[in-house]
Amino acid sequence: MKIHRIDHVGIIVNDLPAVKAFFLDFGLEMLGEGKVEGEWVERMERIIGLPNDKEVAELQKSNGEANIELVMLRTPDGDANIELVKFHSPLDENGIQRSVTNTQGIQHIAFAVEDIEALVTKLTKKGAGLIGDIYNYENVYKLCYIRGPEGIILELAEEIK
């Protein structure tokens, strides 16, 4: 028994189009998108351990709506995937919890990048926020944290050559 690799990182979002646009602007590539409908809704709810709200599911089925929409993105080198998921039901009662970078739990996704300054400029023009500064770490890396839509934090690292 062995682990091969991380397959993907899943991010639950409310505004799927905005978060998708952010990651596409960032430079990820689209692998696909779709809706979880019909029998798959119940299967997904069983897999991820969410209660199946039969009344809501039936209403959505009659309206042709899906409980879950998803977008799969990948890095240009194909080594990492990010899955964006929008749940229409059941809804998260707590909403977005804007955390700081030292909050316990998973807080950011780190990316190795080129031309960190240009990337930060591009993303901040589109509404992302630089959390601290772009920092030169011992002339080995330029590092920074940037916050995108819905509080998603990315760490950017550019190797200094």
- What number of CA atoms fall less than 13 Å from residue 81's CA on the CB side? 15
Question: Which residues in 14-76 belong to E strands, given as ranges?
Answer: 29-36, 68-74
Going residue by residue through the chain (161 aa), what tens digit of pLDDT does each one get? 887 788 889 998 999 999 999 999 999 999 999 987 666 666 666 666 655 555 555 544 544 455 788 999 999 999 999 999 988 765 566 666 666 666 667 789 999 999 999 999 999 999 999 999 999 999 999 999 999 999 999 999 999 98
Global pTM value: 0.80
Would you kindly state where each structural domain of the chain is located, as residue ranges?
9-87, 109-159
Q: How far apart are the C-alpha atoms of 22 and 41, rounded to whole Å? A: 27
Which pLDDT does position 40 carry in this prediction? 60
**What are the two backbone dihedrals, phi and then psi, of residue 57, each rounded to the nearest 5 degrees?**
-60, -40
Which residue type sits at 35?
Answer: K
Tell me if 60 sits within 8 A of 66, measured CB to CB. Answer: yes
| 109-159 belongs to CATH 3.10.180.10 | yes
Which pLDDT does position 131 carry in this prediction? 94
Say yes or no: do domains 9-87 and 109-159 share a fold. Answer: yes
Which residues make Cβ contacts (< 8 Å) with residue 87, sequence separation at least 6? 12, 50, 67, 68
Which pLDDT does position 62 carry in this prediction? 47
The CATH number that domain 9-87 falls under is 3.10.180.10
